[in-house]
Amino acid sequence: MSVVQRQAPHPRELLELMTFKKPVLNGRRRRLEAALTIHDLRAIAKRRTPAAAFDYTDGAADGEISIQRARQAFLDVEFHPSILRDATRADTSCTVLGGSSALPFGIAPTGFTRLMQTEGETAGAGAAGAAGIPFTLSTLGTTSIEDVKAANPTGRNWFQLYVMRQREISYGLVERAAAAGFDTLFFTVDTPVAGARLRDKRNGFSIPPQLSLRTVLDTATRPWWWWDFLTTPTLEFASLSSTGGTVGELLNSAMDPSISYDDLEVIRSMWPGKLVIKGVQNVEDSKHLADLGVDGIVLSNHGGRQLDRAPVPFHLLPEVVREVGADIEVMVDTGIMDGADVVASIALGAKFTLIGRAYLYGLMAGGRPGVDRAIAILREQVERTMRLLQVSELAELGPQHVTQLQRFAPRVLGECSPGSRTDAGIFGAGAVGLHRVSR
């Protein structure tokens, strides 16, 4: 039996076998470099942001079932890679709404953004411009249309519009966005009234903030947030004449539940660029909008922040693309937390995707560098997923690459006796089945 000869290691040999990582002295850079996923950025954001502001971003309506289902839908994707294809590169560029984007996702409109972190939309627009992707400013944004243009002077800026009770406010925003060179208008149609955002009510999240002993104690452990909040320009909302009350109260006072297709026609006559309808949640509305000749639709349930238990946009995608994909550009949002979610959406026919919370987690974690990090994480995940699927361009992705695993199917009422083994009986109780989709 052979015996391994042992000897004391020579110091020079030890140095050749191992290297010590140089310490990163900059705290923000250190924590952002350690974040490898959007979930990592979320964890940092939760540590660094007062509960009321974090929960406004992180939360949804009522029992938050819609956002849970939307994220689960992406987790229930099964990929089908090809083999023996050139995976040397992955071209993530695309054309959407008449212009280019370096990645198949852009930044979605988010309201009250500077409450999350003081750089707000300026950080988002600047990061989007640097990455070569579109940035969307919300009607309820906390940075003016003109300042967003200044932050992203050569990039693509989009504007999201609510039609409000005071129509002249909405019309004025449309005119300002057009004058500033924004190329696309998102007309949001899923907010006749505000959803029941219970976290905000419990936290007393309002403009201005409603302080209690609990909120004071919570914010006392995050003095940097208060320093930023108190030493930077006062929050301004270009679309609101009054800023007192909870977010839900502000929305209900500003929004008009009587908006109709007549309003769509008025806005369409005013807007010179591309027009997209955001908040579409069924096939019939998609077909009607296609017949009206709009440029695009966003399948969205508002990030689960309006009607809880609303349809999952990613589930709607294949059928909507099959019905109208040849006529209008179909986009999707809600629940995207990974570049693989983006790839799955493109494979099932989406022209483009939008990220909201993912960008805000980065913003809260580290301001503009945090947004840059969020985009970089998603970019790396998109590229890696494409290369592992062995596709070189987005156009090569197709339904053959994705299976949507199905947890629930609608129960068919009145068509079978109790206990019969129909498809609805098999899948309606929550079993996991396979649902293959095709365009």
CA distances, 29 to each of 75, 117, 183, 360 (Å)? 30, 17, 34, 17
Asked if 408 and 309 count as a contact pair (C-beta separation under 8 A), the reply is no
Question: Known catalytic residue: 80?
Answer: no
Nearest to 152 by CA among 170, 131, 173, 138: 131
Asked if 151 and 119 count as a contact pair (C-beta separation under 8 A), the reply is no
Catalytic-labelled residue, pool 302, 315, 401, 435: 302
Can you say which residues are annotated as belonging to the binding site for glyoxylate? 56, 162, 197, 302, 305
Can you say which residues are annotated as belonging to the binding site? 56, 109-111, 138, 160, 162, 188, 197, 278, 300, 302, 305, 356-357
Euclidean distance between CA atoms 222 and 215, whole angstroms: 11
Can you say which residues are annotated as belonging to the binding site for FMN? 109-111, 138, 160, 188, 278, 300, 356-357
Beta bridge partners of 406: 433
Structure tokens at 116: 């999350």
The 3-class SS string of the chain reads: CCCCCCCCCCHHHHHHHCCCCCCCCCHHHHHHHHCCCHHHHHHHHHHHCCHHHHHHHHCCCCCCHHHHHHHHHHHCEEECCCCCCCCCCCECCEEECCEEECCCEEECCCCCHHHHCCCHHHHHHHHHHHHCCCEEECCCCCCCHHHHHHHCCCCCEEEEECCECCHHHHHHHHHHHHHCCCCEEEEECCCCCCCCCHHHHHHCCEECCCCCHHHHHHHHCCHHHHHHHHCCCCCCCCCCCCCCEEHHHHHHHHECCCCCHHHHHHHHHHCCCEEEEEEECCHHHHHHHHHHCCCEEEECCHHHCCCCCCCCHHHHHHHHHHHHCCCCEEEECCCCCCHHHHHHHHHCCCCEEEECHHHHHHHHHHHHHHHHHHHHHHHHHHHHHHHHHCCCEHHHCCHHHEEEEECCCCCCCCCCCCCCCCHHHHHCCCCCEEEECCC
List active site positions.
Answer: 302
